[in-house]
Amino acid sequence: MEVLDLVIVGAGPAGITAAIYAKRANINFALYEKNFVGGNVVNAYEIENYPGYAKINGADLAVQFNSNLTELNIDVNYDEITKISKNDGCFALETAYSGTIYAKKVLLALGTKSRKLGLPKEDQFMGRGISTCATCDGNFYKGKDVLVVGGGNSAVSESFYLANICNKVYIMTRHELKADKKEIDKIKNFKNIEVIEFKSINELHGDKKIEGVTLIDTNTKELSELKVDGIFLYVGQVPPTDFLKDLDILNKYGFIEVNEKFETKVDGIFAIGDCISKNVRQIVTAVGDAATAIHFINE
Ligand SMILES: Cc1cc2nc3c(=O)[nH]c(=O)nc-3n(C[C@H](O)[C@H](O)[C@H](O)COP(=O)(O)OP(=O)(O)OC[C@H]3O[C@@H](n4cnc5c(N)ncnc54)[C@H](O)[C@@H]3O)c2cc1C
Protein backbone atom coordinates (compact mmCIF):
# COMPACT_ATOMS: atom_id res chain seq x y z
CA MET A 1 0.00 0.00 0.00
CA GLU A 2 1.57 3.31 -1.13
CA VAL A 3 1.24 6.11 1.41
CA LEU A 4 1.74 9.56 -0.13
CA ASP A 5 3.11 12.45 1.92
CA LEU A 6 0.18 14.64 0.88
CA VAL A 7 -3.06 14.62 -1.09
CA ILE A 8 -4.35 18.00 -2.31
CA VAL A 9 -8.11 17.96 -2.91
CA GLY A 10 -9.32 20.52 -5.47
CA ALA A 11 -7.55 22.23 -8.39
CA GLY A 12 -8.88 25.76 -8.14
CA PRO A 13 -6.41 28.61 -7.51
CA ALA A 14 -5.73 27.34 -3.96
CA GLY A 15 -5.10 23.71 -4.92
CA ILE A 16 -3.05 24.63 -8.00
CA THR A 17 -0.81 26.97 -5.99
CA ALA A 18 -0.42 24.33 -3.28
CA ALA A 19 0.63 21.82 -5.95
CA ILE A 20 3.20 24.26 -7.39
CA TYR A 21 4.72 24.89 -3.95
CA ALA A 22 4.58 21.19 -3.00
CA LYS A 23 6.38 20.22 -6.21
CA ARG A 24 9.09 22.79 -5.64
CA ALA A 25 9.47 21.54 -2.03
CA ASN A 26 9.91 17.97 -3.36
CA ILE A 27 6.87 16.66 -1.45
CA ASN A 28 5.49 13.30 -2.66
CA PHE A 29 1.90 14.36 -3.37
CA ALA A 30 -1.12 13.83 -5.61
CA LEU A 31 -3.62 16.45 -6.80
CA TYR A 32 -7.32 15.46 -7.16
CA GLU A 33 -10.00 17.44 -9.02
CA LYS A 34 -13.60 16.36 -9.58
CA ASN A 35 -14.45 18.79 -12.42
CA PHE A 36 -11.88 20.95 -14.18
CA VAL A 37 -8.69 22.85 -13.41
CA GLY A 38 -9.37 26.45 -12.37
CA GLY A 39 -12.38 25.92 -10.12
CA ASN A 40 -14.63 28.96 -9.82
CA VAL A 41 -12.20 31.11 -11.82
CA VAL A 42 -13.66 29.51 -14.95
CA ASN A 43 -17.04 31.06 -14.05
CA ALA A 44 -15.69 34.62 -13.91
CA TYR A 45 -16.20 36.78 -17.00
CA GLU A 46 -13.61 39.45 -16.25
CA ILE A 47 -11.04 39.46 -13.48
CA GLU A 48 -9.59 42.88 -12.75
CA ASN A 49 -7.97 42.27 -9.38
CA TYR A 50 -5.34 39.62 -9.98
CA PRO A 51 -1.81 41.09 -10.21
CA GLY A 52 -0.08 40.69 -13.53
CA TYR A 53 -3.27 41.14 -15.55
CA ALA A 54 -5.08 44.48 -15.89
CA LYS A 55 -8.08 42.45 -17.05
CA ILE A 56 -8.37 38.76 -17.89
CA ASN A 57 -11.22 36.41 -18.70
CA GLY A 58 -11.58 33.68 -16.04
CA ALA A 59 -11.30 30.77 -18.48
CA ASP A 60 -8.11 32.31 -19.92
CA LEU A 61 -6.62 32.62 -16.43
CA ALA A 62 -7.53 28.98 -15.76
CA VAL A 63 -5.61 28.02 -18.94
CA GLN A 64 -2.60 29.94 -17.59
CA PHE A 65 -2.92 28.12 -14.24
CA ASN A 66 -3.06 24.81 -16.08
CA SER A 67 0.12 25.63 -17.96
CA ASN A 68 1.87 26.16 -14.61
CA LEU A 69 0.97 22.56 -13.77
CA THR A 70 2.12 21.25 -17.16
CA GLU A 71 5.39 23.19 -16.94
CA LEU A 72 6.17 21.48 -13.60
CA ASN A 73 4.96 18.02 -14.76
CA ILE A 74 2.18 17.96 -12.15
CA ASP A 75 -0.55 15.44 -13.00
CA VAL A 76 -4.19 16.14 -12.18
CA ASN A 77 -6.16 13.08 -11.07
CA TYR A 78 -9.71 13.72 -12.30
CA ASP A 79 -11.74 12.10 -9.54
CA GLU A 80 -13.83 13.14 -6.55
CA ILE A 81 -12.79 12.51 -2.96
CA THR A 82 -15.95 11.21 -1.29
CA LYS A 83 -14.77 10.23 2.21
CA ILE A 84 -11.77 10.80 4.46
CA SER A 85 -11.04 8.66 7.51
CA LYS A 86 -8.11 7.88 9.79
CA ASN A 87 -6.35 4.64 8.92
CA ASP A 88 -3.48 3.22 10.96
CA GLY A 89 -1.35 6.38 11.27
CA CYS A 90 -2.39 7.88 7.94
CA PHE A 91 -5.58 8.95 6.12
CA ALA A 92 -7.66 6.85 3.75
CA LEU A 93 -9.32 8.91 1.03
CA GLU A 94 -12.11 7.20 -0.87
CA THR A 95 -12.60 8.31 -4.46
CA ALA A 96 -15.65 8.09 -6.69
CA TYR A 97 -13.95 6.02 -9.42
CA SER A 98 -10.38 4.96 -8.60
CA GLY A 99 -10.58 3.26 -5.21
CA THR A 100 -8.92 4.37 -1.98
CA ILE A 101 -5.69 6.35 -1.72
CA TYR A 102 -3.59 6.83 1.41
CA ALA A 103 -1.67 9.87 2.65
CA LYS A 104 0.07 11.12 5.77
CA LYS A 105 -1.42 14.59 5.29
CA VAL A 106 -4.43 16.03 3.46
CA LEU A 107 -4.88 19.57 2.14
CA LEU A 108 -8.51 20.49 1.41
CA ALA A 109 -8.89 23.18 -1.29
CA LEU A 110 -12.56 22.49 -2.07
CA GLY A 111 -13.72 26.03 -2.83
CA THR A 112 -17.45 26.68 -2.98
CA LYS A 113 -20.47 25.91 -5.17
CA SER A 114 -23.37 28.17 -6.09
CA ARG A 115 -26.21 28.55 -3.61
CA LYS A 116 -29.65 27.72 -4.97
CA LEU A 117 -32.89 29.59 -4.33
CA GLY A 118 -34.71 26.61 -2.85
CA LEU A 119 -37.76 26.98 -5.12
CA PRO A 120 -40.00 24.14 -6.35
CA LYS A 121 -38.96 22.99 -9.86
CA GLU A 122 -35.51 24.67 -9.47
CA ASP A 123 -33.59 21.37 -9.75
CA GLN A 124 -35.72 20.33 -12.74
CA PHE A 125 -34.74 23.53 -14.59
CA MET A 126 -31.06 23.50 -13.58
CA GLY A 127 -29.17 23.38 -16.90
CA ARG A 128 -32.48 23.84 -18.75
CA GLY A 129 -33.19 27.52 -18.18
CA ILE A 130 -31.39 28.04 -14.88
CA SER A 131 -27.61 28.43 -14.84
CA THR A 132 -24.89 29.47 -12.41
CA CYS A 133 -22.34 30.35 -15.10
CA ALA A 134 -22.89 33.14 -17.63
CA THR A 135 -19.66 32.49 -19.49
CA CYS A 136 -20.50 28.78 -19.84
CA ASP A 137 -24.20 29.06 -20.80
CA GLY A 138 -24.77 32.66 -21.92
CA ASN A 139 -24.55 31.78 -25.59
CA PHE A 140 -27.68 29.58 -25.30
CA TYR A 141 -29.64 32.80 -24.69
CA LYS A 142 -28.44 34.78 -27.70
CA GLY A 143 -31.06 37.45 -28.52
CA LYS A 144 -33.27 36.34 -25.60
CA ASP A 145 -34.34 37.90 -22.30
CA VAL A 146 -32.66 36.73 -19.10
CA LEU A 147 -32.90 37.40 -15.39
CA VAL A 148 -29.77 37.62 -13.24
CA VAL A 149 -30.56 36.99 -9.58
CA GLY A 150 -28.24 38.63 -7.03
CA GLY A 151 -26.91 42.06 -6.21
CA GLY A 152 -23.19 41.55 -5.57
CA ASN A 153 -20.12 41.97 -7.77
CA SER A 154 -20.56 38.60 -9.51
CA ALA A 155 -24.20 39.30 -10.43
CA VAL A 156 -23.39 42.72 -11.85
CA SER A 157 -20.21 41.85 -13.73
CA GLU A 158 -21.67 38.66 -15.23
CA SER A 159 -24.63 40.76 -16.43
CA PHE A 160 -22.23 42.76 -18.60
CA TYR A 161 -21.17 39.56 -20.33
CA LEU A 162 -24.81 38.58 -20.87
CA ALA A 163 -25.76 42.06 -22.09
CA ASN A 164 -23.41 41.63 -25.04
CA ILE A 165 -25.26 38.46 -26.09
CA CYS A 166 -28.86 38.76 -24.92
CA ASN A 167 -31.70 41.05 -25.96
CA LYS A 168 -32.49 42.15 -22.41
CA VAL A 169 -30.87 41.50 -19.03
CA TYR A 170 -32.71 42.10 -15.77
CA ILE A 171 -30.58 42.20 -12.59
CA MET A 172 -32.84 41.48 -9.64
CA THR A 173 -31.98 41.68 -5.96
CA ARG A 174 -33.95 41.31 -2.71
CA HIS A 175 -32.41 44.52 -1.33
CA GLU A 176 -30.33 47.20 -3.08
CA LEU A 177 -27.37 46.42 -5.31
CA LYS A 178 -24.38 45.64 -3.06
CA ALA A 179 -21.71 45.49 -5.77
CA ASP A 180 -18.71 47.87 -5.74
CA LYS A 181 -19.53 51.39 -6.93
CA LYS A 182 -17.14 50.93 -9.89
CA GLU A 183 -19.23 47.97 -11.12
CA ILE A 184 -22.58 49.68 -10.48
CA ASP A 185 -21.42 52.75 -12.41
CA LYS A 186 -20.74 50.58 -15.48
CA ILE A 187 -24.40 49.47 -15.70
CA LYS A 188 -25.36 52.73 -17.42
CA ASN A 189 -23.09 51.80 -20.35
CA PHE A 190 -25.57 49.03 -21.24
CA LYS A 191 -28.93 50.16 -22.62
CA ASN A 192 -30.35 46.64 -22.35
CA ILE A 193 -29.73 46.13 -18.60
CA GLU A 194 -32.55 46.94 -16.18
CA VAL A 195 -32.11 46.75 -12.40
CA ILE A 196 -35.01 45.47 -10.29
CA GLU A 197 -34.47 46.04 -6.57
CA PHE A 198 -36.43 44.74 -3.55
CA LYS A 199 -37.88 41.76 -5.41
CA SER A 200 -37.35 38.02 -5.32
CA ILE A 201 -38.70 35.04 -7.26
CA ASN A 202 -41.92 33.61 -5.87
CA GLU A 203 -42.55 31.01 -8.57
CA LEU A 204 -40.87 29.58 -11.66
CA HIS A 205 -43.00 29.11 -14.79
CA GLY A 206 -42.54 26.74 -17.69
CA ASP A 207 -42.90 23.14 -18.58
CA LYS A 208 -39.76 21.81 -20.29
CA LYS A 209 -37.93 25.15 -20.09
CA ILE A 210 -38.18 28.44 -18.20
CA GLU A 211 -40.85 30.74 -19.65
CA GLY A 212 -41.12 33.32 -16.90
CA VAL A 213 -41.33 34.00 -13.18
CA THR A 214 -43.67 35.48 -10.62
CA LEU A 215 -41.83 38.09 -8.58
CA ILE A 216 -42.70 39.19 -5.07
CA ASP A 217 -41.92 42.66 -3.71
CA THR A 218 -39.88 42.10 -0.54
CA ASN A 219 -41.51 45.11 1.18
CA THR A 220 -45.14 45.21 -0.03
CA LYS A 221 -45.46 41.47 -0.93
CA GLU A 222 -47.11 42.58 -4.19
CA LEU A 223 -46.81 39.97 -6.97
CA SER A 224 -45.85 40.70 -10.59
CA GLU A 225 -45.04 38.65 -13.70
CA LEU A 226 -41.84 38.76 -15.76
CA LYS A 227 -41.32 36.85 -19.03
CA VAL A 228 -37.76 35.56 -19.35
CA ASP A 229 -36.09 32.68 -21.19
CA GLY A 230 -33.29 32.07 -18.73
CA ILE A 231 -32.22 32.71 -15.15
CA PHE A 232 -28.65 33.12 -13.89
CA LEU A 233 -28.10 32.65 -10.16
CA TYR A 234 -25.50 34.69 -8.27
CA VAL A 235 -26.97 34.45 -4.79
CA GLY A 236 -23.90 33.39 -2.91
CA GLN A 237 -21.71 30.36 -2.51
CA VAL A 238 -21.76 27.37 -0.15
CA PRO A 239 -18.89 24.98 0.65
CA PRO A 240 -19.11 21.40 -0.73
CA THR A 241 -18.15 19.92 2.63
CA ASP A 242 -21.03 17.55 3.49
CA PHE A 243 -18.71 14.56 3.08
CA LEU A 244 -16.51 15.90 5.92
CA LYS A 245 -19.23 16.09 8.58
CA ASP A 246 -17.91 13.06 10.52
CA LEU A 247 -14.52 14.76 10.99
CA ASP A 248 -16.13 17.55 13.05
CA ILE A 249 -14.01 20.30 11.44
CA LEU A 250 -16.86 22.46 10.05
CA ASN A 251 -18.53 25.57 11.43
CA LYS A 252 -22.32 25.86 11.46
CA TYR A 253 -22.34 27.15 7.84
CA GLY A 254 -20.27 24.21 6.57
CA PHE A 255 -17.00 26.14 6.19
CA ILE A 256 -13.84 24.49 7.52
CA GLU A 257 -12.32 25.99 10.68
CA VAL A 258 -8.52 26.42 10.59
CA ASN A 259 -5.82 28.15 12.63
CA GLU A 260 -3.16 30.54 11.28
CA LYS A 261 -1.14 27.53 10.00
CA PHE A 262 -4.25 26.35 8.08
CA GLU A 263 -4.47 23.29 10.35
CA THR A 264 -7.91 21.89 11.14
CA LYS A 265 -8.47 20.36 14.54
CA VAL A 266 -7.70 16.92 13.04
CA ASP A 267 -3.91 16.60 13.15
CA GLY A 268 -2.62 16.19 9.56
CA ILE A 269 -5.66 17.69 7.80
CA PHE A 270 -5.20 21.24 6.50
CA ALA A 271 -7.61 23.46 4.54
CA ILE A 272 -7.20 26.58 2.37
CA GLY A 273 -9.04 28.89 -0.02
CA ASP A 274 -12.74 29.61 -0.24
CA CYS A 275 -13.81 26.49 1.71
CA ILE A 276 -12.40 27.79 5.01
CA SER A 277 -14.03 30.18 7.45
CA LYS A 278 -12.58 33.58 6.40
CA ASN A 279 -13.59 37.13 5.50
CA VAL A 280 -12.30 37.60 1.93
CA ARG A 281 -12.90 34.91 -0.71
CA GLN A 282 -10.85 35.91 -3.75
CA ILE A 283 -8.19 34.41 -5.99
CA VAL A 284 -5.37 36.32 -4.29
CA THR A 285 -6.39 35.13 -0.82
CA ALA A 286 -6.76 31.53 -2.05
CA VAL A 287 -3.26 31.46 -3.56
CA GLY A 288 -1.82 33.18 -0.46
CA ASP A 289 -3.37 30.56 1.83
CA ALA A 290 -1.80 27.82 -0.31
CA ALA A 291 1.77 29.12 -0.13
CA THR A 292 1.55 29.50 3.66
CA ALA A 293 -0.09 26.10 4.19
CA ILE A 294 2.60 24.24 2.22
CA HIS A 295 5.24 25.99 4.35
CA PHE A 296 3.68 24.54 7.52
CA ILE A 297 2.86 21.15 5.95
CA ASN A 298 6.56 20.84 5.05
CA GLU A 299 7.85 21.99 8.48
C1 LIG B 1 -18.95 34.28 -10.98
C2 LIG B 1 -17.71 34.47 -10.13
C3 LIG B 1 -16.88 35.55 -10.40
C4 LIG B 1 -15.73 35.75 -9.62
N5 LIG B 1 -14.90 36.82 -9.90
C6 LIG B 1 -13.76 36.99 -9.18
C7 LIG B 1 -12.87 38.07 -9.48
O8 LIG B 1 -13.10 38.87 -10.39
N9 LIG B 1 -11.71 38.18 -8.72
C10 LIG B 1 -11.41 37.30 -7.71
O11 LIG B 1 -10.35 37.44 -7.08
N12 LIG B 1 -12.25 36.30 -7.40
C13 LIG B 1 -13.41 36.11 -8.10
N14 LIG B 1 -14.26 35.08 -7.78
C15 LIG B 1 -13.91 34.24 -6.61
C16 LIG B 1 -12.82 33.23 -6.98
O17 LIG B 1 -13.23 32.49 -8.11
C18 LIG B 1 -12.55 32.33 -5.78
O19 LIG B 1 -12.18 33.11 -4.67
C20 LIG B 1 -11.45 31.33 -6.07
O21 LIG B 1 -11.73 30.57 -7.22
C22 LIG B 1 -11.25 30.40 -4.87
O23 LIG B 1 -10.31 29.42 -5.17
P24 LIG B 1 -10.36 27.99 -4.45
O25 LIG B 1 -9.24 27.20 -5.06
O26 LIG B 1 -10.39 28.18 -2.99
O27 LIG B 1 -11.79 27.37 -4.83
P28 LIG B 1 -12.47 27.02 -6.22
O29 LIG B 1 -12.04 27.94 -7.28
O30 LIG B 1 -13.92 26.93 -5.91
O31 LIG B 1 -11.90 25.57 -6.58
C32 LIG B 1 -12.19 24.44 -5.80
C33 LIG B 1 -12.01 23.19 -6.65
O34 LIG B 1 -12.15 22.05 -5.83
C35 LIG B 1 -12.86 21.04 -6.54
N36 LIG B 1 -13.46 20.12 -5.57
C37 LIG B 1 -14.39 20.41 -4.62
N38 LIG B 1 -14.70 19.33 -3.90
C39 LIG B 1 -13.94 18.31 -4.39
C40 LIG B 1 -13.82 16.92 -4.04
N41 LIG B 1 -14.54 16.37 -3.04
N42 LIG B 1 -12.97 16.14 -4.76
C43 LIG B 1 -12.24 16.70 -5.78
N44 LIG B 1 -12.31 17.99 -6.15
C45 LIG B 1 -13.15 18.80 -5.45
C46 LIG B 1 -13.88 21.83 -7.33
O47 LIG B 1 -14.36 21.08 -8.45
C48 LIG B 1 -13.07 23.07 -7.74
O49 LIG B 1 -12.44 22.90 -9.00
C50 LIG B 1 -15.41 34.85 -8.55
C51 LIG B 1 -16.26 33.77 -8.29
C52 LIG B 1 -17.41 33.57 -9.07
C53 LIG B 1 -18.30 32.40 -8.76
Fold type of domain 122-233: FAD/NAD(P)-binding domain (3.50.50)
Atom of ligand 1 nearest to the CA of 43: 1
Does ligand 1 have an atom closer than 6 angstroms to the CB of 187?
no
Ligand 1: distance of its center to the CA of 141 in Å? Answer: 25
Rounded to an integer, what distance in angstroms lies between the CA atom of residue 204 and that of residue 125?
Answer: 9
Question: What is the structure's pLDDT at 88?
Answer: 87
The domain spans of the chain are: 3-112+239-297, 122-233
Kindly give the distance from the C-alpha atom of residue 34 to the centroid of ligand 1, in angstroms, as a whole number.
12
Q: b or e along 178-193 (b: 16 or more beta carbons within 10 Å of the residue's beta carbon)?
A: ebeeebbebbeeeeeb
- Output the CA 91–ligand 1 centroid distance in Å: 25
Separation CA 260–CA 98 (nearest Å):
33
Determine if ligand 1 sits within 6 Å of the CB of residue 281. yes
Q: Are 204 and 122 in contact (CB under 8 A)?
A: yes
Catalytic residues: 133, 136-137
* 90-95/100-108 β-pairing: antiparallel
Q: How many residues does the chain have?
A: 299
Which ligand 1 atom lies nearest to the CA of residue 114?
53
Residue 294 CB–ligand 1 contact under 6 Å: no
**Rounded CA Rg of the chain:** 21
Give the integer Cα–Cα distance in Å for 179 and 181: 6
The domains spanning 3-112+239-297 and 122-233 adopt the same CATH topology:
yes
Stretch (H or E) spanning 61: helix 58-71
Give the pLDDT of the chain (299 residues) as one tens digit per residue: 899 999 999 999 999 999 999 999 999 999 999 999 999 999 898 899 999 999 999 999 999 999 999 999 999 999 999 999 998 899 999 999 999 999 999 999 999 999 999 999 999 999 899 999 998 999 999 999 999 999 999 999 999 999 999 999 999 999 999 999 999 999 999 999 999 999 999 999 999 899 999 999 999 999 999 999 999 999 999 999 999 999 999 999 999 999 999 999 999 999 999 999 999 999 999 999 999 999 999 99
Alpha carbons 80 and 9: distance in angstroms, whole number: 8
Helix (H/G/I), strand (E/B), else coil: 50: coil
Residue in 37, 148, 283 to alter for ligand 1 test, most ligand atoms within 8 A of Cβ? 283
Query: 208-217 burial, b if ≥16 CB within 10 A, otherwise e?
Result: eebebbebbe
According to CATH, what is the number of the domain 3-112+239-297?
3.50.50.60
- How far is the centre of ligand 1, averaged over its atoms, from the C-alpha of 216 (Å)? 31
